[in-house]
A and B are shown apart, each in its own frame.
Chain A
Amino acid sequence: MVQYSYFPGCNLKTNAKGFEKSAVAVSKKLNAELVEIPNWNCCGTVHTMTSDNLMKRIAPVRVLSRSRKHIEELEDSPNEVATLCSMCNSTLKIVNKEVKVDEDKLSKINYQLEEDEETYAEDMEVKHFLEILRDSVGYKNIAKKVIKELKGIKVVPYYGCMLLHPEEAKIDDEEMPSVLEYLMESLGAEVIFSPLFKFCCGSYHIVDDETIVDSQVSKILQDVRVKGANAMVVACPLCAYNLDYQQKKLIKQTGEKNPIPIFYFSQLMAIAMGEPIEINHFEDHQIDPRKLLKELKLEG
Chain B
Amino acid sequence: MKIGVYICECGSNIAGTIDTEKVARSAEPLPKVSVSRVYRYACSEPGQNLITNDIEELGLDRIIVAACSPSMHEPTFRAVLKERGLNPYLLEMVNIREQCSWVHSDKKQATEKAISLLTAAVLRNALQQPLTPKKVGVTNNALVIGGGIAGIQAALDLAEVGYKTYLVEKTPSIGGKMAQLDKTFPTLDCSACILSPKMVDVGRHPNITLLANSEVVEVEGFVGNFKVKIKKKATYVDPVKCTLCDECVPVCPVIIHDEYNENLSPRRAIYIPFPQAVPATYIIEEETCLGIDPLICAKCRDVCGPEAIDFDMKPEIIEEEFGAIVVATGYEAYPIENIGEYGYGSIHNVISGLEFERILSASGPTDGVVRRPSDGKVPKTVVFIHCAGSRDPAKHLPYCSKVCCMYSTKHALQYRHLVHDGTAVNFYIDIRTAGKDYEEFYQRAAEEDGVIYIKGKVSEILEDGDQLLIRGVNTLTSETVEMHADLVVLANGMMPSEGTKKIASMLKLPVDSTGFIREAHPKLKPVDTVISGVFLAGTASGPKDIPETVAHASGAASRASTILAQKELEIDATIANVNEMLCRGCGMCVDSCPYSAIELEAKNSFGHTIKVAVVNEALCKGCGTCSATCLNGAIGHLGYTDNQILAQIKALSQK
Instruction: Point out residues on A near B: beta carbons under 8 Å.
Output: 173-176, 193, 195-196, 198
Contacts and interface: CB of A to CB of B under 8 A. Distances in A.
Contact of B464 (A173, A174, A195, A198): A195
Interface in B444-501: 460, 462-464, 469
B340 interface: yes
B341 A175 contact: yes
B654 interface: no
A77 to B, nearest CB: 34
A184 to B, nearest CB: 19
Nearest to A219: B482
A175 B463 contact: no
B346 interface: yes
Q: Which of A175, A193, A196, A198 has the most CB of B within 10 A?
A: A175
Nearest to B340: A175
Query: Chain A contact residues: over half helix, strand or loop, or mixed?
Result: loop
B464 A176 contact: no
A31 B341 CA distance: 37
Given A175-B341, A195-B469, 14 more contacts: A173-B340, A174-B340, A175-B340, A175-B343, A175-B460, A176-B340, A176-B343, A176-B346, A193-B463, A195-B462, A195-B463, A195-B464, A196-B462, A198-B460
Interface residues of B, number: 9
Interface of B is mostly: strand
Residue picked from A174, A195, A196, most chain B C-beta under 10 Å: A195
A146 B343 CA distance: 34
Nearest to B346: A176
Contacts of B462: 195-196
Interface string B341-385: 101001000000000000000000000000000000000000000
A193 B462 CA distance: 10
Contacts of A174: 340
B479 to A, nearest CB: 13
B461 to A, nearest CB: 9
A248 to B, nearest CB: 26
Interface string B325-343: 0000000000000001101
A234 to B, nearest CB: 18
Contacts of A175: 340-341, 343, 460
Contacts of A173: 340
Contacts of B343: 175-176
A208 B462 CA distance: 30
A196 B462 CA distance: 8
A198 B471 CA distance: 12
Nearest to A227: B465
Contacts of B460: 175, 198
Contacts of B464: 195
A39 B463 CA distance: 46
A196 B463 CA distance: 10
A184 B463 CA distance: 20
A176 B463 CA distance: 11
A142 to B, nearest CB: 25
A245 to B, nearest CB: 24
Top-4 shortest CB links A-B: A195-B462, A175-B340, A195-B464, A195-B469
A174 B463 CA distance: 16
Contacts of B346: 176
Nearest to A176: B346
A175 B340 CA distance: 6
Nearest to B347: A176
A176 B461 CA distance: 11
Contacts of A196: 462
A163 to B, nearest CB: 16
B335 to A, nearest CB: 15
A195 B343 CA distance: 12
Nearest to B468: A195
A176 B337 CA distance: 13
A196 B346 CA distance: 17
Nearest to A197: B462
Contacts of B340: 173-176
Contacts of A193: 463
A175 B346 CA distance: 11
Contacts of A198: 460
Nearest to B463: A195
A78 to B, nearest CB: 30
B488 to A, nearest CB: 14
A141 B283 CA distance: 53
Nearest to A174: B340
A81 to B, nearest CB: 28
B460 to A, nearest CB: 7
16 contacts: A173-B340, A174-B340, A175-B340, A175-B341, A175-B343, A175-B460, A176-B340, A176-B343, A176-B346, A193-B463, A195-B462, A195-B463, A195-B464, A195-B469, A196-B462, A198-B460
A266 B463 CA distance: 28
Most chain-A CB neighbours within 10 Å: which of B341, B343, B460, B464? B464
Contacts of B469: 195
A198 B460 CA distance: 10
A193 B469 CA distance: 13
A178 B13 CA distance: 66
A249 to B, nearest CB: 23
Contacts of A195: 462-464, 469
Nearest to A194: B464
Interface in B135-191: none
A198 B343 CA distance: 14
Nearest to B482: A219
B40 to A, nearest CB: 57
A175 B350 CA distance: 15
B436 to A, nearest CB: 40
Nearest to B342: A175
A219 to B, nearest CB: 9
A111 to B, nearest CB: 35
A193 B343 CA distance: 15
A195 B463 CA distance: 6
A198 B341 CA distance: 12
Nearest to A223: B464
A242 B308 CA distance: 73
A196 B469 CA distance: 9
A174 B343 CA distance: 11
Nearest to A173: B340
Contacts of B463: 193, 195
A213 to B, nearest CB: 16
A215 to B, nearest CB: 11
Nearest to B469: A195
B9 to A, nearest CB: 53
A175 B337 CA distance: 12
A196 B465 CA distance: 12
A241 B346 CA distance: 32
A173 to B, nearest CB: 7
Contacts of B341: 175
A175 B344 CA distance: 11
Nearest to B464: A195
B467 to A, nearest CB: 9
Interface in B415-466: 460, 462-464
A83 B16 CA distance: 69
Interface string B21-36: 0000000000000000
A173 B340 CA distance: 9
A220 to B, nearest CB: 13
A159 to B, nearest CB: 13
B119 to A, nearest CB: 48
Contacts of A176: 340, 343, 346
A68 to B, nearest CB: 34
